[in-house]
Amino acid sequence: MKTKSFQMFRKQQECKISYSSGETCPEKKVLYKLISGLHSSIPMHIAGDYLLDESRNQWGQNIELMYDRILRHPDRVRNMYFTYLFVLRALTSLLSATEYLEQAEYDTGNHAEDLKTQSLIKQLLYSPKLQTACPVPFDEAKLWQGQGGPELKQQIQKKFRNISALMDCVGCEKCRLWGKLQVQGLGTALKIFFSVGNQDKEGDQTLQLQRNEVIALVNLLNRLSESVKMVHDMRPDVERLMEDQITKTSSKPGRLRRVLDLAFSFLVK
């Protein structure tokens, strides 16, 4: 079932490529990287919790799948890390989003859990380590501005609606739920960045987020964080797998080593 979800994201990848083909504007490059990063994060979770033996219901890590789908492609690792930074910056670096999330209601009926959730959100928003660890991946003040800005925003929003509609075709309910949730989370991060500039022009708070958007955004950050951590934690196993492949093929070992080193280099800082 997870494989079907991955195949659906492959279709989204094709949609993304056709959209960005021949385009050079920075906004569309950012969109390309974001969808590619989300697309790369999905198989990380598939490989991290994989059905190894259906007859015994045995689940575990599929190192070969992780290497084949993601780690042998440095650009996919790079785009996944870019998407992770993008969502972090949307949460922690924009004053409008920080104020909104700090004042948001976290009422589920469980008072103890609600207080814990609110405390964790504040720790995240005002973490000095996150502030210093989240560099500016791009200058958002220069994006989606100018005469073509409003039209470009509408195009991007339309693309995300199309991607979300594609997820309705996924047969697995759990896969469909996770896919739509993460797409909405990425759309929410973009919505936060879209509000930049509007506040300067109108002089007031223009950002309005719905409860489900906040939930989707936090869940997306969690999934991306787990993907990045998984790359770090599973590096020794992946390196052993790569060494075995080098031994078996005994062809161009230097190239395989460079590919893996380049992939991990994006996550060492």
The residue-averaged pLDDT of 200-210 equals 62
Task: For the beta carbon of residue 153, count every other beta carbon within 10 angstroms.
Answer: 17
One-letter identity of residue 46: I
Q: Round the average pLDDT of the chain to a whole number and report it.
A: 75
Is 172 an active-site residue?
Answer: yes
pTM: 0.74
Enumerate the known binding-site residues for FAD: 36, 39, 69
Q: Of all residues in the chain, what percent carry a pLDDT higher than 90? A: 9
Please report which confidence band the pLDDT of residue 107 belongs to, taking 50, 70 and 90 as the band edges: confident
Rounded Cα–Cα distance for residues 257 and 74 (Å):
12
CA-based torsion, 21, 24, 25, 26: positive or negative: positive
Enumerate the known binding-site residues: 36, 39, 69
In the chain, where does DSSP find H-type helix?
2-20, 26-48, 63-66, 74-92, 95-103, 111-125, 128-133, 149-167, 173-194, 198-202, 211-233, 235-249, 253-265
Contact 44, 227 (CB under 8 A): yes
Is 25 an active-site residue?
Answer: no
Choice between 268 and 239, residue whose per-residue pLDDT is larger: 239
- Specify the pLDDT at position 18: 43
Total domains, the chain: 1
Q: Which of 15, 25, 134, 172 is catalytic?
A: 172
Contact 220, 181 (CB under 8 A): yes
Instruction: Choose among 216, 264, 185, 240: nearest CA to 61.
Output: 240
> Range of 211's domain?
2-265
